[in-house]
Chains A and B, each alone.
Chain A
Amino acid sequence: MMRTSRRFGALVLLPVLLAVAGCRSHIRYVDLDSKPSGATVYVNGEKKGVTRAARLKLEFKDSPRVLIQLNKPRYRPIFQFWSRGEVPDEKIFMLEVE
């Protein structure tokens, strides 16, 4: 009886644990740069720094993807959505003159 209970207990707990594990916060880091440098970096609409932005922290706590935007006066602004698996170790954006 005990073995049966344990087996079924495990069967109940497994999906719960898997669901909890899937909800846990994920953090990624990226070295961002642009050519030319000096572009303002926004993550999810919030200003995070200026290129070159070393070790930029990206949080995937509430969303499976983040919105990265670069802005520099007289250059065409850039925006990209990155999902957790798409975050590179480093990325250089080539800015085009407007």
Chain B
Amino acid sequence: MKIPVFRVGLIVTASFLPLSLIALIVFLVIYSWPAIQFNQLHFLWTNDWNLGNLYGNPVDVRGAQIMPGAKYGIWFLVVGTIVGSMLAMLMAMPVAIGAAYFLSEGVRRSWAGPLSLFVDLLAAIPSVVYGLWGYALLVPLFGQTIFPFMAKTFSLVPFLGGDPGSGYGLLTSAFVLAVMIIPLISATLRESIQMTEPALKEAGLSLGLNRLEVFWHITLPKLKTVLIGVGILALGRALGETMAVLMVSGNALNYLPNNIYAPISTMAAFIASQLDSALQDPTNMAVEALSEIALVLLLITVVVNFAARLLLWMARVR
């Protein structure tokens, strides 16, 4: 039998993709195994990240060597990550839909190309530049002008009133995240708006609806699955965003936000900012606990992406 060399070569190289995904999960599980055994499940919902006394002698607790007083609980990270991304989604969704409509049907074709460049290029800007922009422009602007004003105006609304903070915090990170994910949502949505059958739109128009009403009552309900799928996809992106959040979130430690101006931290930003201090731990448990956070983040994003891709596949968007 002749061996199809070319095809075998293709299969071997193509299998790099799934293998790297599996390798990621396997390596993380192996490396963080001591931490998983030590922390068990309440790791996720206790609110106490403490490396312990790094100058003391390691002690044995529950069969693991740790520094005296060391505790690892990441509830504040779970809350920060999920609340921040949700808030970003809430801000991003309407604007993304509006921009997608504007670029696909609101302006004439010949303008749509150049104008959509703004949105496409916005998606290409590196996240650390978003962070720099947030740090240099948004944080002073929000902290000194907008947040105090908002806190005063909405002083009676829960979560909107209270201490306006310094500008670093939940709302600033959510705003930056929203600007980052709007282009992603908008691009896919624009494509699927253009792919909707024209007959549907024509039927609506002939009933006397104007174009915006056709979009709202006919096109958008038709694209419900796409909308949800793209939304979850963007949520996955927001959950894992590191640099931009790191630079504007205020990097709270063991602190739960009591209003939307309060400082937060997210899992991704925490991993990026804490490795240096975790390396001070001679028992290595802190580094393993960080890798457990990475594992949690990985599993969350895999589940989120899995759900989103499944929905989009059912809706027949590539």
Do A and B interact with each other, yes or no? no
Interface on A for B, CB 8 Å cutoff?
Answer: none
